[in-house]
Structure 1
Amino acid sequence: MTRTRRLTNHAGDEMALATDRNTGARAWSAVSMALEGIRAAVLDRWETLVRSHVDGARELRRPILINTLPSFYSNLIQALTPAYPRDDATSHTTAAAAHGGERARMTNFGAEQVIHEYQLFREALGEVSSAHRLALSPADWTVIERSINTAIREAVREFTSIHEDLRHKMAAALSHDMRTPLAVIANGAQLIGVADDLAQAKRLGEKIAANATRLETMVGEVLDALTTHCGERLPLHLSRFDMRELILLVQREFADRYPAALEVAAINVEGWWCRDTMRRALENLVANAIKYGDGGPIRIELSESHGNILLTVHNIGNPLSEEQRGRIFDYLRRERQVQAQAGWGIGLPFVKRAAESHGGSVAVDSSAQTGTTFLIDVPVDCRPYVDGSERAGSWEAPTAPPPAAAADVAGLHRLLE
């Protein structure tokens, strides 16, 4: 009779990685004991294969790449233990779905890469078990194959679900961001019809042409977004410009549509930012102030201190409660008392991501006495804070050359917030 040992809470750190930690005391099968002995070799071989054969895997740091595979391996060992109540490595656990979700959120993988890495797990397990002369029975391989196939389905299902959700957000953002240039075009066309002189009509025509170009750019970004994957930050295209000039541009943009004063108190500050992203962020703040203010003046201010700029948009109106201030940057969050207002609840979350992607932050200050002020605080020179080589997901092998830059995901992120 094959001797077995008891699986207890002291069986080793690796077994604690199983998704079910309430292991109790169960007899391991001989094959389970053997698989535990080659665990490190299998996972190392899998990592080597994935980095060599899966597009986008080479630049990932090991914690991101390895993901939930140790738990999957532990669950597989349990499934190959007859006394353990797990039919395969995916029974009673969402670990495979979590793996697919993390691949969608934290990598540039596509569904094909998710499938491929599970197939490579089978290959690694076969190679290492053969090298160690571990004889797996047909029944064992049935459990292994069922585990891998089910894990693929669950991981890809979650992966595609997240990307489908991102596409819905993208469609909402597209509608949201196109409203400003469309409104300028529509209002400009109406005003041309009643213009008193050629100079005024020419000025309005130039505005229409400029905003038509913006719409064309947005459509291009949508097409880019459909072929890219999600990432953690907004990729930025940095250039040097004067922030005050951008503020005055936005002021002129809203002048024909907002009857009250849009005041500007801004110094000239040249720095490195993403012009399109900062413009969208400022437009969202001004539009928000118009929508929820009391119809009075809106004030935009710009100052510089200790290498940072502070860009603020202030309006008078109903103040935000403490609870509202804590959740106002949540995606698709709109307060009940303003549900009648048109909007998708995505403008302020974009402002937050824009500021954070520039290496800064956004805050809100609101009270009945002072009104509501949104504050964007970002470095004057954002280049050191948005360098793609410093992304947390980048992997650097000690003896290998620097990894290739991650794929550009600008189109998607500009439209997600």
Structure 2
Amino acid sequence: MSIASSHQHLLRRQPMRVQRLFALREAVLTNWEQRVRATVQGADQLLTPILINTLPSFFDNLAEALTPGHPRQDATSNSNVPAVHGNERARMTSYGPEQVIQEYQIFRDCFADAAREAGIALRRHDWRIINASIDMGIRESIREFTAMHEGFQRRIAAGLSHDMRNPLSVITTAAQLLQRYPERVNISDLASKILDHGHRLDTMIEELLDTLSYQQGQCLPLALSQFDILSLARTVCAQINGLVTLPQGDKCSVSGVSVTGWWCENSLRRALENLLNNAVKYGDDGPITVHVEETHGRMILTVHNTGSPIAPEQTARIFEYLRRDHQGTQPGWGIGLPYVQNVAESHGGSVAVDSAPETGTTFIFDIPIDCRPFVAPPP
């Protein structure tokens, strides 16, 4: 179940006060944008999708933390949304640490004002959660903001040949069988295997070149066009359903609204394929849900699966280049999630992860609906 879908399911079971808290999101974000533009240095120059950033997800996390019985302790628990916020502020703005801190302080004021105007009394326990969320959000955002400006160490692409050996071995074996026993083999079947694994190798090389370019400070090459992301999500999910089935029905389902925007269709397709393949690999054979929504000029696509959660100490590192925590039985480059991050950032957005035993794992892909102002033209 996606974050947005889980919100809807949650609201149906909660008292009216909780429903009214979730309903504050648009008022809080609208007021926050106005105040930030008026008081934060450099904010008035930012377009709305970049200014809003990951605030919708942070608000949703806070509303969940204020919901009685919800496992989320504060808006930052089991989530790297604040770190992603700091990362994007470092990449997309001229902010200093002071501006990042000021944004969170304004968010706290806007949340309190919206609750008061809606007649929602914030209790002492609520304020402990709100203040803890803001304080931790500031710390995590500034930590990532500083790390981005200081520069990350680049990892050497050692050991990549290990992942190429499997498809290359299939191709070589199939070719040898064709050469030695042409009259005894199924030529059509072997040809299909050669083509499939050749395509897999080609995709690996393409992702590797893109990732290496991005690690050297170059944005991914994007061919922007206008299309509906919901339609693309359904197409990619149909591919997953053609490979993996569940006794109760399709493995992957799509919900949400149609959002048409300016993006690179090929890179978004590959990013979504990576997220869904990751969910298939590391889920618990349960269903995978994809949800699409839009808010304040941004498109938010979530991919949710159940299964073993990502350990809190690994959440901040899961997008590191060539990192793989599931060593051994699960194949992979170790660049699938970094590639997804590269696609999001090259579109002027970001990707975050939210993972806990009680709620499963959700990847939040969040980019401007119209990416043209944030994408450098091709050389």
Q: TM-score category by the smaller chain?
A: 0.3 to 0.5
Greater Rg over alpha carbons, structure: 1
Normalised by the length of structure 2, the TM-score is: 0.45
